[in-house]
Amino acid sequence: MTRLDELLSLHEEVRRCTKCPLHKTRKNAVPGEGSVEARIVFVGEAPGASEDLSGRPFVGRSGEVLTELIGKMGLSRSEVFITSVLKSRPPDNRAPNQSEIDACLPYLKRQFQLIDPKIVVLMGNIAVSAVVGPWRISECHGRFYDAEGRTFFMTYHPSAALRFPRIRETTNKDFQTLRKQLG
């Protein structure tokens, strides 16, 4: 079985998942999308309303910001992989609870193994805390962190860049740092 076949199989498993109560309220699970050959993986918090309807990650307003930032790096969405910690939308876009994160984290880690990117970009507090530890994004954004044999880069979630012009500026700078490292 190829890595692509394994990734597609994993995504089917995510779509059938009933490990937490979110499967009862979602319209579609959102496993993620992009290239199995991606050198960079972007990880958000959880699907929002637009993502829940479409079954695709980052297709709403935050997705427009992320797509623009990826483009400024000289890349397209098809060249990267985009996913979230949670694969199902929490009701009313509430923050994920720990049991939901624990249920989805094995899927995310398996995606990391199959894609084996050069850099994993953790966007926002939830992604950072779930994957590398309880850091505040305001204190760790723009930094690289090596753990579990991977290089992680931490930055603000695109939704924060939408709401706050200062964070938008900071996020743009973070992505410039990321572009330089990616080479």
**Cross-strand partners of 156:** none
Whole-number average pLDDT of the chain: 96
State yes or no: pLDDT of 183 exceeds 90.
no
Q: State in words which class domain 3-182 has.
A: alpha beta
Which is it for strands 150-155 and 119-123: parallel, antiparallel or unpaired? Answer: parallel
Q: Distances in Å between the alpha carbon of 40 and those of 15, 92, 103?
A: 23, 30, 24
- In this predicted structure, what is the pLDDT of residue 148? 86
- The residue ranges of every structural domain in the chain are 3-182
Nearest to 66 by CA among 42, 46, 47: 42
Question: pLDDT tens, 63-105?
Answer: 999 999 999 999 999 999 999 999 999 999 899 999 999 999 9
CA 32/CA 14 separation, integer angstroms? 10
Instruction: Compute the average pLDDT of residues 138-167.
Output: 95
User: Is pTM, for the whole model, over 0.95?
Assistant: yes
Determine the angle formed by the axes of helices 61-72 and 165-182, rounding to 10 degrees. 40
